[in-house]
Structure 1
Amino acid sequence: MNKYFNLRILEEGSGYKERTVGFKVAKGSGVQFQFQFQLQMTIQNFLKTLKTAKRTSASTLSPDPYQRLPDLISQFLTASKPLDASTLQDLNSTDFHDILTNPHLKASKCYRFFNFVVKNQSMLSFKPHLQDHLTLISRLLKARLFADAESMLKTLSIDENLSEAIEVFDFMKNNGIEIDERTCTVHLNALKRADELGLALDFFNQMVQTGLEISVYSLTSVVDGLCRNGDIKEGREIVEEMSGRGVKANVITYNTLIDSCAKRWDFEELDLVLGLMNKAGVGFNVETYKFLINGYTSYGKIEAAERLVMEMHGKGLRVDAYLYNLMLNGYCKLGSIENVLLLLGRMCDRGVKPNADTYWPVINWYSKGGVMEMAMKYVREMQKMGFELDKVMYDTLIDRFCRNGMADEAFEMQIEMERKGIHADMSLCNQIGELLCETYQTEKAKMLMNIMIKRGKSPKTVTFTSAIS
């Protein structure tokens, strides 16, 4: 199947004039180029460039525009010989434009020279203008070098002219220039990065009103921008509106809304999004469940989160320790240790392997309440599973042993730390030492002091020194 294109270009010859040419590209030929003029220039500059280009006549050009340049540049253009970048110091903007418009030079050689100039921008006293880009793009199109023309279009900065993009869009629409939805999406993302959400919405509306076939990717891009800005309701309403126009949101679009609702604990809006998702027949994926479970557990709705986890198991979806850990933490914060222990049992029954983060909430809860025996029971179980305590865990347990007057246990845990190359905080060492002295365990206190000195601590910093001297 052939695809036909119409392009407005500048024709070279006895002079320059504007004409419309048509060409066709056979499917599978590999020559596929969509004229992506679109978003990278202001409408004012574009019109100015066309007028200037049409007025340009061969009679106004030098007989040999590049003859004033060093010989090496001439050789580069005519014989493809290597060019020393230092010779570009003599190049000015007028000569550069003359080279690009010279009809005696092939468009491919001009393109090669253009790229060389851009790569050596630091050697120049000027920067290629928008008109230079347009001139060469027109020549490349006429020479059917579509890939090179597209590459040049992509080099034009869209960030400098964000606010004029809609004017350019109108110009393209009114002049029959094909508008590429994929490129429009690129511009939408650029507007988001520039924090120009208002312009992004205006541009999206223009895309819709023009009758351009909107992709779910463009829709998701706009919804994501709104959600990041906290406008979740407006994002949901756009999804509803576009659904009526035949653009169906996918699970990624809905996940964007769900994640924003869950993080903000906006459960009223979340229910509306879930209802819309259900009506559209879009099912949950693993990410959907994670966003919901995270939101529910952080708010304290642990039972709702647990129902979702069981639902995941029922659907055969992969449930990892992370989701169980969220619920275990939630139950611990609520002080519901019974539910914690029940959940640990369900976790094991379902074949979900725990990790260090699974055990620590339980250990922390018991030790905080002074139930050190139960805390150490889960420490041993954790270590049996191959998970070790880190420095924060050790320091926390030592502090709680000391608070409960358990000097021996605190000392043994500190020695265990040293064997593993982990050093307890100085304040904790002093705390242990003072407790040992209070319980008349001076030998252990001396051992602890020696350990501290070997670590480079001054005896003056050891607060229990006088008690053992």
Structure 2
Amino acid sequence: MLILAYARNLQIRAACETFRRSHDYGYKLSLISCNSLLSGLVKENETGEMEYVYKEMVKRRILPNLTTFNIYINGLCKAGKLNKAEDVIEDIKAWGFSPNVVTYNTLIHGHCKKGSAGKMYRADAILKEMLANKISPNERSFNSLIGGFFTYNSLINGLSNNGKLDEAIALWDKMDDLGLKPNIVTHNVLINGLCKRKMTWEARKLFDDIAKQGLVPNAITFNTLIDAFCKDGMVEEAFAMHKSMLEEGIIPNVSTYNTLIAGLCRNQNGRAAKDLLNEMLTYGLKAYVIAYNILIDGCCKDNESSKAEKLLGEMLNVGVKTITGGKW
């Protein structure tokens, strides 16, 4: 029970020391205590200690359960030890258990986070293995894979990206075939991927699909599209998104305003950018150094040094520091 208490309070060193001494004194530890210790070590990224505890459990004949294996796989995936994580599947079977949706999701997510071509194909192979074993994937399975395909795509420029984009959309269709409804996270991942590919209007069409699916867009959805429109020089469309955001009752955040201010400054509309800064303050949002830097930079590019100087003075008056970590 002492290890359990230490682990739940993330006093990991004390928990590990108790784990070691318990063997010296001949105490038999409970599986719940050991699983809690493993989980705490994963949270603290103590991979070496986690592997030690797992091996010691086997030596001390503390019988694991599927939760034990899933925690261990998660820790190995977090540490990038993907091959070792997959080997644990054999341990699971040797102990008479079968991998479940959590096991496969953890492995899929681990491979997708790496983002390389080989890892993405391996993640897709794990999904196929999952289906072959009659384990139904859930939303998290597909969200990881769809997000992962866009991570891989970002490594390649130009038209070669389209192949993987098709695969991501195919996964979307596969979700529907299995009766899984894409959620707002799935939509956000695809919208972000399309925007990165400069396929802004396609992303907008997907945005329009959100309401049809009975879902509600969130700040991430709007910010992604606002950023894409601003970067493409389509400031009017960005402000239309901003208006829709307010109509949905979603208060824009600092990121929203910084993006819009930058878009206006690129279009040499400093006055409107300054009005946005004031609007930002009326919503109780604090203007950080980045917002002022964007405005000051815009004034300098427009040869309006007096306005830049005035903004700098305002910045100091409201208590925004000009120096962060020794840099402007």
Aligned partner of 2:9 in structure 1 is: none
Q: Does 1:242 align with 2:130?
A: yes
Moved more, 396-405 or 322-331: 396-405
Aligned to 1:406: 304
> What letter matches 1:311 in structure 2?
D
Q: How do residues 51-450 of structure 1 correspond to structure 2 at under 5 angstroms?
A: 119=18, 128=23, 137=28, 148-150=29-31, 159-160=51-52, 180-193=65-78, 195-205=80-90, 207=92, 212-230=97-115, 231-265=119-153, 266-422=164-320
Describe the SS at the equivalent of 1:246: coil
Aligned pair in 2 of structure 1 residues 333, 219: CA closer, same or farther (>3 Å)? same
CA distance in 1 between counterparts of 2:112 and 2:200 reads 25
Say if 1:403 and 1:256 are closer, same or farther in 2 by CA, change over 3 A.
closer
1:128-154 deviation line (CA, Å, top 9, x unaligned): 56xx86xx65xxxxxxxxxx5546866
Change (3 A) 1:153 1:344: closer
Q: What residue ranges of structure 2 are gaps of 5+ in the alignment?
A: 1-16, 39-48, 154-163, 324-328
CA distance in 2, matches of 1:203, 1:261: 25
Q: How much does 1:399 deviate?
A: 3.7
Deviation at 1:330, TM superposition (A): 0.7
Question: Contact 2:261/2:291 (CA < 8 Å) preserved in 1?
Answer: no
- Does structure 1 conserve the Cα–Cα contact (< 8 Å) formed by 2:172 and 2:182? no
Change (3 A) 1:416 1:251: same
Do the aligned partners of 1:320 and 1:353 also contact (CA within 8 Å) in 2? no
The residue type paired with residue 190 of structure 2 is L
Name the TM-score, length of structure 1 as normaliser. Answer: 0.51
The amino acid across from 1:333 in the alignment is K
Following superposition, the deviation at residue 236 of structure 1 comes to 1.9
CA–CA distance in 2 between the matches of 1:407 and 1:304? 40
CA pair 377-186 structure 1, distance change in 2 beyond 3 A? closer
Cα distance change, pair 383–239 in 1 and its aligned pair in 2 (3 A): same
Identity of aligned residues (%): 22
Q: Measure how far apart 1:210 and its partner are.
A: 8.0
* Partner-residue secondary structure (3-state), 2:268: coil
Q: Kindly state the Cα deviation for residue 333 of structure 1 after the two structures are TM-superposed.
A: 1.0
Amino acid at match of 1:367: C
Over the residues paired in the alignment, what is the CA RMSD in angstroms? 3.8
Unaligned runs of 5+ in 1: 1-117, 138-147, 426-469
| Cα deviation 1:39-97 (Å, max 9, x = unaligned) | xxxxxxxxxxxxxxxxxxxxxxxxxxxxxxxxxxxxxxxxxxxxxxxxxxxxxxxxxxx
Q: Of the two structures, which has the highest relative contact order with CA contacts closer than 8 Å and spacing of 6 or more?
A: 1
Counterpart secondary structure, 1:213: coil
Report the CA distance between 1:178 and its aligned residue.
Answer: 8.2
One-letter code of the match for 2:51?
D
Task: Give, in whole Å, the separation in 2 of the partners of 1:220 and 1:120.
Answer: 30
CA distance in 1, matches of 2:79, 2:279: 51
Larger Rg: 1
Q: Provide TM-score, normalisation by structure 2.
A: 0.69
Paired residue type of 1:204: I
Contact between 1:243 and 1:249, CA under 8 Å: does it hold in 2?
yes
Paired with 2:174 and 2:96, the residues of 1 have a C-alpha distance of 25
CA contact (8 A) 1:163 1:199 kept: no
In structure 2, what is the Cα distance between the partners aligned to 1:226 and 1:355? 32
Partner SS, residue 204 of structure 1: helix
SS, match of residue 179 in structure 2: coil
How much has 1:418 moved relative to structure 2? 3.6
Compared with structure 1, are the counterparts of its residues 343 and 422 closer, same or farther at alpha carbon in structure 2 (3 Å cutoff)?
Answer: closer
Q: What's 2:42 paired with?
A: none
Deviation track 1:407-429 (CA, whole Å, cap 9, x = no partner) reads 4433433332343234657xxxx
Specify the code of the residue in structure 1 equivalent to 2:208. Answer: M
